[in-house]
Chains A and B, each alone.
Chain A
Amino acid sequence: MASLNYLSLLQNSLRSLRIQREACISLTNTSIYRFKSTLSSDQRDLIANGPSLDDFVSGNAPSTPEELKRKKRQRLPLPNWLRTEVPKGKNFHRLKEDLRRLKLHTVCEEARCPNIGECWGGGEHQTATATIMVLGDQCTRGCRFCSVKTSKAPPPPDPNEPVNTAAAIASWGLDYVVLTSVDRDDMPDGGAEHFAETVRQIKKRNSSILVECLTPDFRGDLKGVETVALSGLDVYAHNIETVQELQWLVRDPRANYKQSLSVLEHAKTVKSDLVTKSSIMLGMGETDSQVLQALKDLQSSGVECVTLGQYMQPTKWHLKVKEYVTPEKFKFWETVGNKMGFLYTASGPLVRSSYKAGEFFLKTVLRERQGKTAADNVQ
């Protein structure tokens, strides 16, 4: 008898839970949160029945020659296409002075980017640009590919940083700017509010500037993702860094593949006209099918822009390069990305997430999209 009573109790509680859940769903169906996938059935069919690696390969995919693969106990020399000029020039030094004066950090310096001379120096047709790193220069995570300083307890972020960053960017007169940050697992919101405030300050000073943010994953806290996504930025970027099979080796254990994909999905859910972007490093020992699968996963998560670059060992304390992928192979991945239907696939040995991010193409796309949303709003 007692057991029968217990069983009925259990059934009742399950029933009530089910009713509650259904009530929740019906209540929230009208809100911006959705429990179902945002892809249409046609899109899902396309991805499921779409091209596989064989369609692209057919025996013609370039492979890395043996001399560009690292063998045990041997040093793998840097190929000539990765050798860059020593940074110098008026723009370079002026930018450096500006940054030091305002106590700003850049990922360009902290992560030892090889393109620093080119981006900071500006070209004939481009203005000098830098990717400012907010929330300080000390990260709470230690990933094996990144040379940004790692600390268990970094100092609290500078409260003037959003204003200083916005002032610096306004003084440089840029029309496309990229912001990024370190991981701050020691802060309750992961630094999301500080990041969002920086974006708001930039937009306040210049509402026509296009802002791209390369964000952390906020430890999976989607509220943080939402805070940044709704701060007024135009491109939401978050990197998966490598293929799923190498996440354990390359990234800090607090970061993972599914978490990163959920960040990208959520940003798109919260603001559907956001352009989402992600990035992969090659040369860490991944296979072609793994990279293709990663690209497919990104596409399923609604990501529109992808960048692929060569991993380069920043210091002796970090992962060694497994192979130097040839420029031809990078071109191959660019073709694959374009065929898969990404809005923009930037692929090259020196390409990084924010390298030439403000290219004419992207700017055109964004302005077009903004024009469309404005037209919709008017109607």
Chain B
Amino acid sequence: MATMKCLTRAGLLVSRGRLLSTLCCRNIGKTYPKTTSHIFSQNLFKNLQKFNSRQFQPSLSLSTDTSSQKPTKKKPRTVKVTFVDRDGDEITVDAKIGDTLLEVAKEYDVDLEGACEGTLSCSTCHLIVDKNWYEKIPDFLTEEEQDMLDLAFGLTDTSRLGCQIVVSDAIDGIRLKVPTETRDIRNL
């Protein structure tokens, strides 16, 4: 844990240094017109790197292999989620575990909106879950969610809000429909 912390902090410093040098370079042309920003940034970055390496001695006890500089990025685990959009087209996507269904829809360009950005204040991310999957969703239907759902257009018995369902293994293969116009008794 501590080593991971060290590594990330070192990474942050280096990236901060890079950012700082880019920020400086943008203005350098104005104050020092004769200096070329390219050379300036290189020097600045080199100095920052030296500074960083002096301050930090991260113990790479994770791997004894010193040739690999970067730790390997773990690929996030995904499950299959199927959206049926407003035109009736089916889109099956690899949803990352831990994302909400609204975030998944945004990532894969599914036409689902989230006006309140997932704060349980509207019903724009209203989704109709397939009957056989409704009971399997581990996220409990809270009263707040029910209150918002009550206002939604085209409400069904298996409706949920997309911002409240978190992707997990339990819903691998879930099918959801984005509600579209139906004959609503309110006759909006």
Contacts and interface: CB of A to CB of B under 8 A. Distances in A.
* Pairing of A with B: yes
B153 interface: yes
Given A248-B181, A253-B152, A254-B151, A317 B121 contact: no
Nearest to B115: A142
Contact of A317 (B87, B114, B181, B188): B114
Nearest to A146: B115
Interface in B145-188: 148, 151-154, 181, 184, 186-188
A216 to B, nearest CB: 15
B111 interface: yes
Contacts of A254: 151
A283 to B, nearest CB: 15
Interface string B114-134: 111101111110000000000
A318 interface: yes
A72 B85 CA distance: 11
Contacts of B65: none
A247 B151 CA distance: 14
Contacts, number: 66
Contacts of B184: 248
B77 interface: no
A253 B154 CA distance: 10
B99 interface: no
A297 interface: no
B46 interface: no
A100 interface: no
Contacts of A316: 106
Nearest to A149: B116
A252 B181 contact: no
Contacts of B117: 150, 317
Interface centre among A140, A142, A144 (most CB of B within 10 A): A142
Contacts of B121: 140, 142, 150-152
Interface in A99-146: 140-144, 146
Contacts of B113: 144, 317-319
A143 B115 contact: yes
B116 A151 contact: yes
Nearest to B147: A152
A58 B74 CA distance: 63
Nearest to A147: B115
Interface size class of B (residues with CB under 8 A): 20 to 34
Contact of A318 (B115, B144, B154): B115
Interface residues of A, number: 28
A144 B151 contact: no
Contact of B122 (A142, A245, A256, A258): A142
A269 B109 CA distance: 46
A182 to B, nearest CB: 12
Interface string A238-265: 0000001101110011101110000000
A73 interface: yes
B115 A253 contact: no
A271 to B, nearest CB: 28
A257 B187 CA distance: 9
A320 B152 CA distance: 20
Nearest to B89: A72
B116, B151, B153, most chain A CB atoms within 10 A: B116
Contacts of B122: 141-142, 150, 252
A81 to B, nearest CB: 25
A151 B151 contact: no
Given A73-B109, A150-B116, A256-B188, A142 B181 contact: no
B188 A142 contact: no
A318 B105 CA distance: 12
B128 to A, nearest CB: 14
Contacts of B106: 316-317
B153 A253 contact: yes
Interface string B86-123: 01010000000000000000100101011111011111
B123 A151 contact: no
A150 B115 contact: yes
Contacts of A253: 123, 151-153, 188
Given A72-B89, A150-B116, A151-B116, A256 B124 contact: no
A139 to B, nearest CB: 9
A318 B117 CA distance: 9
Nearest to A144: B113
Given A252-B122, A253-B152, A319-B113, 8 more contacts: A73-B109, A140-B121, A142-B115, A146-B115, A150-B121, A151-B116, A245-B181, A253-B123
16 contacts: A72-B87, A142-B122, A142-B123, A143-B124, A144-B113, A150-B115, A150-B117, A151-B116, A152-B148, A248-B153, A256-B186, A256-B188, A317-B106, A317-B113, A318-B113, A319-B111
Nearest 8 A/B pairs, CB to CB: A142-B122, A142-B115, A150-B116, A256-B188, A317-B114, A152-B121, A150-B121, A247-B188
Interface of A: 72-73, 140-144, 146, 149-152, 244-245, 247-249, 252-254, 256-258, 316-320
